[in-house]
């Protein structure tokens, strides 16, 4: 019992440390500009002293949310840019990633292992390594400064193929053979057997991929020159220190879609982790 209490207390402290910045951001977004500046002035001005804890607002205010949603069309424009780009990327990953992962998991062809090792090698390369060839390719295709410069590389990412292959390999081979014996064609086996059993894996891939693409910084900065095409992840970079209250509100609104998706897919993530250990 003592050990259980100690573990619970330790995990509670760790959880509080992790969630504390989120709580401070939410509280700061409900403060007026003057009150918020009183708490974080040493950080913004670079002067002496320390910032104080944002515990609760003395006078809750929603003026910064009104500025973002009603007085500033730039925020909503970038928000819909992010929604459209991320939605197309996720839809493409479901189509391309599932087909490629199914092929790597259940078909053996010449150089299949070497090709998959190439996928893993590409996945381990940071964006800075592939920046030059990606830029040259997009430039030759006349896609620079268009949303497709972000969408197409995101669709053909290697991460979705790698992750889904692990889930498709957990599909029992005897079940696939039984479907083939019953007269099911290969597309039918994929659509009726493989995809339904890999739903937790697909949901896990969509969740992780959404979080990754929702927070893109380097790609839009490199491939998009027109500010009207920028996603929401670049909005906070355009807010100065004098608008800290607006920056807090923008951070909260930016977090909402990611938090909603995470809570919605949490059960799928847990189920996906459990299914990776199932043996035929």
| Residue 40 DSSP class | H
> What DSSP element (H or E) covers 253?
helix 244-275
Q: For residue range 80-139, what is the model confidence (pLDDT) as tens digits?
A: 999 999 999 999 999 999 999 998 888 888 888 888 888 888 888 888 888 888 999 999
Same domain, 41 and 150: no
Please say if the pLDDT value at position 257 is more than 70.
yes
Q: What is the pLDDT of residue 47?
A: 59
Please check whether residues 53 and 72 belong to one and the same domain: no
Contact indicator for 241, 15 with CB cutoff of 8 Å:
no
Provide the number of structural domains found in the chain.
2
CB 147 within 8 A of CB 229: yes
The verdict on residue 280 lying in a domain is no
For residue 143, tell me if it sits in a domain: yes
240 and 127 in a single domain? The answer is yes
- 42 and 175 in a single domain? The answer is no
pTM score of the predicted model: 0.84
61, 77, 103: which is the final residue of a domain?
A: 61
User: Between the CA of residue 273 and those of 1, 170, 198, 202, 280, what are the distances in Å?
Assistant: 29, 12, 12, 12, 16
Write out the two tokens for 97: 């990633």
| 88 and 140 share one domain | yes
Residues 73 and 57 in one domain: no
Shared domain check, 57 and 22: yes
Give CA–CA dist 170/102, Å, rounded: 11
Indicate whether 79 and 55 sit together in one domain.
no
Q: Are 74 and 235 in contact (CB under 8 A)?
A: yes
Quote the CA–CA distance of 138 and 150 in Å, as a whole number: 10
Are residues 169 and 47 part of one domain? no
pLDDT at 270: 66
Q: Is residue 151 part of a domain?
A: yes
Tell me which DSSP letter residue 228 carries. Answer: G
Residues 170 and 269 in one domain: yes
Do residues 48 and 88 both lie within one domain?
Answer: no
Distance between CA atoms of 211 and 70, rounded to whole angstroms? Answer: 26
Residues 53, 192, single domain; the answer is no
Tokens, residue 248: 């807090």
Is a pLDDT exceeding 60 seen at residue 200? Answer: yes
Residue numbers of the domain that contains 177:
68-275
Residue with tokens 């030759």: 140
**Cα distance between residue 74 and residue 237, in whole Å:** 13
Q: Which CATH number goes with the domain that contains 112? A: 1.10.3720.10
Q: Is residue 16 part of a domain?
A: yes
């Amino acid at each position: 019992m003592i050990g259980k209490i100690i573990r619970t207390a330790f995990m509670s402290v760790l959880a509080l440390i992790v969630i504390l910045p989120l709580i401070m951001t939410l509280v700061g977004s409900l403060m007026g500009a003057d009150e918020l500046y009183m708490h974080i002035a040493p950080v913004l001005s670079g002067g002496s002293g320390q910032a104080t804890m944002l515990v609760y607002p003395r006078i809750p205010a929603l003026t910064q949310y009104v500025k973002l949603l009603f007085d500033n069309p730039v925020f909503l424009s970038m928000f819909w840019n992010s929604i459209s780009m991320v939605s197309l990327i996720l839809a493409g990953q479901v189509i391309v990633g599932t087909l490629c992962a199914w092929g790597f998991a259940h078909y053996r062809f010449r150089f299949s292992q070497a090709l998959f090792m190439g996928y893993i090698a590409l996945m381990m390369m940071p964006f800075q390594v592939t920046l030059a060839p990606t830029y040259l390719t997009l430039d030759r295709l006349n896609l620079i400064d268009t949303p497709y410069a972000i969408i197409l590389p995101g669709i053909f990412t290697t991460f979705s193929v790698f992750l889904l292959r692990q889930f498709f390999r957990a599909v029992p081979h005897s079940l696939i053979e039984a479907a083939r014996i019953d007269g099911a064609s290969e597309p039918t086996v994929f659509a009726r057997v493989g995809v339904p059993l890999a739903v937790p894996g697909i949901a896990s891939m969509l969740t992780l991929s959404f979080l990754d693409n929702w927070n893109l910084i380097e790609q839009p900065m490199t491939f998009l020159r027109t500010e009207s095409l920028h996603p929401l992840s670049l909005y906070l970079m355009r807010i100065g220190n004098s608008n800290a209250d607006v920056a807090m509100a923008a951070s909260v609104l930016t977090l909402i879609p990611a938090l909603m998706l995470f809570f919605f897919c949490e059960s799928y993530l847990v189920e996906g982790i459990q299914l990776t250990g199932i043996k035929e």
